[in-house]
A and B are shown apart, each in its own frame.
Chain A
Amino acid sequence: MLHANNLTKCFFPGTPNEIVALNGLSIELSEGQFLTVIGSNGAGKTTFLNLIAGSLFPSEGKITLNGKDVTTVPEHVRAQMVGRVFQEPGMGTASGMTVAQNLVLALNKGHKGLKIGVTQDRKSALREELEQLGLGLEERMNERVTHLSGGQRQGLAVLMATLTMPKILLLDEHTASLDPKNARKILEITEQLVTEKNLTTIMVTHDMNQAIDLGDRLVMLHRGSFVADVNGKKKEQLTVDKLVELFSERNIVDDELLLTMT
């Protein structure tokens, strides 16, 4: 489904501020696979997602999505195949517009015509989708998103990202800025939607428990390359202790990561 080959991303090349965010990174994801990416701040997690989504283009390397070379395809075109949820709940929704209007924008991704956006037919179809979230949003379809809580906004963002069955779903630490209760709820919703629609998913996180609990494959990102890849049975049996062991085997001592163990 996704094939990233030898991705390198260098910011400010040739200047004293040169930063190599990704360093020859390769990965292949098959259809329906759920990958969690773990790594500390500055490991290149968000850069990796930005390259897949097309917000940034790689300095070197190639990205194939659903058999198509998308390396230099701009973000808004690639969005047909990519669903994305950001870290901040505010980033994935338009706050001055209503819940229904936001969903309609996600419904006809890329095809914006002169048909009326929010129609009764669409609203009743969207109402069913919202009911499944269990966030009470189905009763607030005509309210502006700015009046919703962070958890509700993020729930809406997850639904919007998955509404059109993207070829790949990108989750960028999408529960990191929520309180624990809401974070759990949003993870539940995410899992439910991903399983139901059998979406190929990449979730970036710096929470070890999350990375272990979710998905069927885990990779560890460190200084711009993958340093560990745990798959299948091994992933199922993975524990925090084993993950820490993996870290120390590779001489990656990271206080911040270890702190998230608890």
Chain B
Amino acid sequence: MSLFINAIEQGLVYGLMALGVLITFRVLDFPDLTVDGSFTMGAGITAALTVAGWNPYLALLLGILGGMAAGTFTGILSTKLNILNLLSGILTMTLLYSVNLRIMGRPNIPLLGQTTILDQFNSLLSGVGLGDYSNLIFFGIVLIALKALIDLFFNTELGLALRATGDNEQMIVAQGVNTDVMKVLGLAISNGLVAFSGGLVAQYSGFADVGMGIGMIIAGLASVIVGETLLPTKSFMWVTTGVVTGSIIYRAAIMLALRYGYNLGFKASDLKLITALIVIVALATPHVREKLNFKIGEKANLSETE
């Protein structure tokens, strides 16, 4: 049971990050690799400021702003300096590694003994006997609220323009929209969400580590793909619901793998290998299926003429 609750907690808190990945990869059609760096940045700023005695809410807010700044930077590299979008993200991610170390002052900041937002919420809920579920409830509230905001935003005029930028840039320019501004805005929102997730994960796991963002983009992408496969994509609300579901399923799968994978001869360090393989399979499946269908069709045609 506690394993189950842990999986949902993690699915919810990393779901914020997955929603950020959705905005860049799917909505903007911009494969943004800033994520690995901005996740750590959110965690690093939150942890460093909390340890320095700041108000934990303010610390988290500054972490989010840091992530948004990182996204803006990637956006400017890509739109104003005309650097390839993939490379822009990689450059920001790389430079963030050093920046994050500067912010944190050391590679790992433990939050033991610090009063985090989660601790405050826990003592609040313990009063009514829900202490065991305080993380679950807190992450649930945050995610539902932000998901609702995102759904709303992407149905406003501005949000629609942002979606159109990823869909058909030529069309939306002809409709009077500055697509450079849209891309920077989308990247800022996305990386803000990612940093938000990072800040909460730091509080949840009790530390911030300079390497905690490595491979984050793959986890986000996996959640997006699982969500798209399992739930309909008929409207934006459904897509975001799918991503959150995907994130929970992904975390549950990881937890099961970590618990029982040992019996199959896997080590915990194989996790990233397996995750990447799962994403490769998920991405390649539609393509391979199409090719197979084509070959089968070809054979059928041949046998007809024979």
Contact = CB atoms under 8 A, between A and B. Distances in A.
Interface residues of B, number: 23
A77 B178 CA distance: 8
B163 A53 contact: no
A113 B170 contact: no
B304 interface: no
A115 B157 contact: yes
A113 B164 contact: no
A105 interface: yes
A115 B176 CA distance: 17
A19 interface: no
Contacts of B161: 105, 112
Interface in A88-123: 90-97, 101-102, 104-106, 108-118
Given A105-B175, A113-B156, 11 more contacts: A75-B174, A76-B173, A79-B176, A91-B168, A94-B167, A95-B168, A101-B160, A110-B175, A114-B157, A160-B175, A161-B174
Q: Is the interface of B mostly helix, strand, loop or mixed?
A: helix
B168 A104 contact: no
A92 B174 contact: yes
A109 B175 contact: yes
B150 to A, nearest CB: 13
25 contacts: A79-B174, A79-B176, A83-B174, A84-B174, A91-B168, A91-B170, A95-B167, A95-B168, A96-B163, A97-B164, A102-B164, A104-B157, A105-B161, A105-B175, A105-B177, A106-B175, A109-B175, A110-B177, A112-B157, A113-B156, A114-B153, A116-B157, A117-B155, A117-B160, A160-B175
B144 interface: no
Contact of B171 (A55, A77, A92, A108): A92
Contacts of B168: 90-91, 93-95
A6 interface: no
A76 B159 contact: no
Nearest to A101: B160
B172 interface: yes
A112 B161 CA distance: 7
Contacts of A104: 157, 160
Most buried by B among A77, A90, A97: A97
Contact of A79 (B152, B153, B157, B173): B173
A97 B175 contact: no
A75 B172 contact: no
Nearest to A77: B176
Contacts of B159: 117
B177 to A, nearest CB: 6
A76 B157 contact: no
A53 B159 CA distance: 25
Contacts of A102: 164
A76 B163 CA distance: 16
Interface in A53-105: 53, 55, 74-77, 79-80, 82-84, 86, 90-97, 101-102, 104-105
Interface of A: 53, 55, 74-77, 79-80, 82-84, 86, 90-97, 101-102, 104-106, 108-118, 160-161
B108 interface: no
Given A117-B156, A117-B157, A112 B167 contact: no
| Ranked 6 nearest A-B pairs via Cβ | A110-B176, A79-B176, A94-B167, A109-B176, A117-B160, A112-B161
B79 interface: no
A97 B167 contact: yes
Nearest to A54: B173
B158 interface: yes
B157 A108 contact: yes
Interface in B135-160: 152-153, 155-160
A105 B170 contact: no
Interface in B31-61: none
A80 B153 CA distance: 24
A169 B201 CA distance: 53
Given A112-B161, A113-B157, A115-B156, A91 B176 contact: no
Contact of B163 (A97, A110, A114, A115): A97
